[in-house]
Structure 1
Amino acid sequence: MIQDKDIALIVDLGEKQHLVTIRAGARFETHHGFILYDTMIGRPWGSIIHSSLGHPYLVARPSTSDLIRHIKRSSQVIFPKDSAYLLMRLNVKPGMRVLESGCGSGGMTLALASAVMPSGRVYSQEIREDFLNLTRRNMEKVGLADYVTFIHGDGTQGFQVSEPVDAVFLDMPAPETCVAQARAVLADGGFFGSLVPTTNQVSALLRALEQEAFGLIEVEEVIIRGYKPVPDRLRPRDRMIAHTGFLIFARAIVRPEPPAAPTPAEVVDIAREADAEAPADDAGDEPA
């Protein structure tokens, strides 16, 4: 049932969608009249309600994808098609500790927080304080701020987490500059991911990953095509979300320790063994 203070998606059938917080005693203004929130409270999700002018609206429980699409933005957010795949490839689950560097408007932060709750934590580090504050407000609006630690800092100078994290996600113009810092806080065997829009950024990141203790490196992209849901005229939509970015994945590995240098005594023993195994000289041969 819909309750006071719930977050709801009000859908104008055939037109716009609105993400709202239900407030008892208040109303929502539309181009087709107003809707009293009290008429929604106590009704089941998926109900059709009518505005003061009789226009129908659907009241739906918002998905994580809906929340991401409707948050306030000051930068481009990661598309749900990419964020959903990132969650799977980074193995993000309830209880995990995940570091995110470069939160932007908080779209990926929202996806991560939804996945690690109720016992996990997202550490969101951002160099721009205005982006960090916007992400904090967006998380507060959707009720996820309690699962996020907001950190104002430059990733190239290190990540401000006190314990190893299970996964790291870098969303920044030059993620290759933070690979060593990411490996320093990532647990052995942990998951690394990044999203960049251009191939030259991919190449730079691959070189950086090869320099550090990372393995199982992969580069992928996700392309999604929608279809018009008309049974008698089923065909692709005129527009599709194609390339939005390259996804780079890797695992934190433990490099084998180099063999220890032999001690002076061991050097002497090795030399003696070599002398003992060497063939004897043919010193007694008679001259021709």
Structure 2
Amino acid sequence: MSSETAVNEATGAAVPAGAATGGSQPVGAARRRGPFREGERVQLTDERGRMNTITLESGGAFHTHRGFLNHDDIIGKVDGSVVVNNVGQQYQTLRPLLSDFVLSMPRGAAVVYPKDAGQIVTMADIFPGARVVEAGVGSGALSISLLRAVGDNGYLHSFERREEFADIARGNVETIFGGPHPAWQVSLGDFQEEVVRSEAPGSVDRVVLDMLAPWECLDAVATVLAPGGVWINYVATVTQLSRTAEAIRADGRFTEPDAWESLVRGWHLEGLAVRPDHRMVAHTGFLLVTRRLADGVTGISVKRRPSKTDFNEEDVNAWTPGAVGERQVSDKKLRRAARDAIAGTNVKDDPEVTN
């Protein structure tokens, strides 16, 4: 029985977890509440601030050069407890946040960082129940954020060209939600070809693209996106950003595109030593957003001084994966990451909600 279900004591029938308290729980919510259970991931922080993430196993142990900590000493404890290992070393125990999980999960491709995923969810106005399509699934980091935003009754259709990446994404999504998400569908193939076959014209609320050449998908996006719908692109380089923006302007079926990037700088807080951290998360990618106009309407062009917007063959060659610094991932590494992601889904049922 799934950890997201309970048993009705009167009838013996399986019911959604949380139904006994007056409402159904969203998928994965039960895994964020209650005491620690076997199979869960737990974040351990020692007295020096060093952090490790472990998966709890009955009879297991976490070993360091300063002793060992039995997993059984954590299982059954309340989230936020402090436990002590065999030599008196203290550890703070917490469930990893989504941002922690994304940065430590198995991956085959670079992930969309939490700072960008948060911007995408907000600036693209991803709402509960929305119909969303995305391309460039990668390791599933952005898919997890989108699924949380659309909810169980929403719809997310993800397109990925490489089966290995799709397998890694499925494993990571099922690990964090405790199983397949009811709103998620993954398809293999090129986005611009597959999306028009699977989605009716004007039926999609939001389009999210994380790919090398999003301008190639312009017609497909215009076909499936509803009037007023949002199209947001995540690109790594200035040249990609420029070409996508110019293609959108030239097409005429979209509003004037907006672009930005976010930089995150932490602060050091210790007594009177309050200052910016020496290191920061700077450029990870650009975000470019536009909206679909009604059919038959031509967008209003923003008046600006003339500038060179033509592209030659040399410019096009600059957008190859190698030229923009995209690291090629070996098939062996992809297979290993897929195995690690799938292994993370082997979480035992919650003993509190199963009989």
Q: For the superposition of Structure 1 and Structure 2, which TM-score range results when normalised by the shorter chain? A: 0.7 to 0.9
Report whether the alignment pairs 1:145 with 2:180: yes
Aligned-residue RMSD, C-alpha: 2.1
Closer, same or farther in 2 for the Cα pair 1:105/1:50, shift >3 Å?
Answer: same
What amino acid does structure 2 have at the position aligned with 1:171? D
C-alpha distance in 2 between matches for 1:97 and 1:122:
6
**Equivalent residue for 2:77, pick from 43, 56, 62:** 43
Counterparts of residues 71-220 of structure 1 (less than 5 Å):
71-143=105-177, 145-146=180-181, 147-159=183-195, 161-163=198-200, 164-210=203-249, 211-220=251-260
C-alpha distance in 2 between matches for 1:36 and 1:186:
53
Secondary structure of residue in 2 paired with 1:193: strand
C-alpha distance in 1 between matches for 2:113 and 2:47:
24
C-alpha distance in 2 between matches for 1:114 and 1:12:
30
Moved more, 244-253 or 137-146: 137-146
C-alpha distance in 1 between matches for 2:268 and 2:257:
37
Contact kept in structure 1, 2:127 and 2:149, CA below 8 Å: yes
Contact kept in structure 2, 1:7 and 1:142, CA below 8 Å: no
Q: Which has the higher contact order (CA 8 A, sep 6+)?
A: 2
Other-structure match for 1:65: 99
Closer, same or farther in 2 for the Cα pair 1:8/1:161, shift >3 Å?
Answer: farther
Larger Cα Rg: Structure 1 or Structure 2?
1
Q: Percent identity?
A: 31
Q: TM-score, normalised by structure 2?
A: 0.67
What amino acid does structure 1 have at the position aligned with 2:41? I
Moved more, 66-75 or 151-160: 151-160
Report whether the alignment pairs 1:239 with 2:279: yes
Cα deviation, residue 216, structure 1: 4.3
Closer, same or farther in 2 for the Cα pair 1:23/1:246, shift >3 Å?
Answer: same
Contact kept in structure 1, 2:110 and 2:138, CA below 8 Å: yes
What amino acid does structure 1 have at the position aligned with 2:293? I
Contact kept in structure 2, 1:194 and 1:248, CA below 8 Å: yes
Cα deviation, residue 48, structure 1: 1.1
Aligned residues: 258
Secondary structure of residue in 1 paired with 2:158: strand
**Equivalent residue for 1:3, pick from 36, 50, 60:** 36
C-alpha distance in 2 between matches for 1:179 and 1:17:
44
Moved more, 100-109 or 18-27: 18-27
C-alpha distance in 1 between matches for 2:104 and 2:158:
20
Cα deviation, residue 29, structure 1: 4.0
Contact kept in structure 2, 1:98 and 1:123, CA below 8 Å: yes
What amino acid does structure 1 have at the position aligned with 2:180? A
Unaligned runs of at least 5 residues, structure 1? 259-288
C-alpha distance in 1 between matches for 2:291 and 2:81:
46
Secondary structure of residue in 2 paired with 1:142: helix
What amino acid does structure 1 have at the position aligned with 2:36? Q
Cα deviation, residue 8, structure 1: 2.6
Counterparts of residues 199-278 of structure 1 (less than 5 Å):
199-210=238-249, 211-256=251-296
Other-structure match for 1:265: none
What amino acid does structure 2 have at the position aligned with 1:137? G
Unaligned runs of at least 5 residues, structure 2? 1-33, 299-355
Counterparts of residues 21-40 of structure 1 (less than 5 Å):
21-40=55-74
Q: TM-score, normalised by structure 1?
A: 0.82
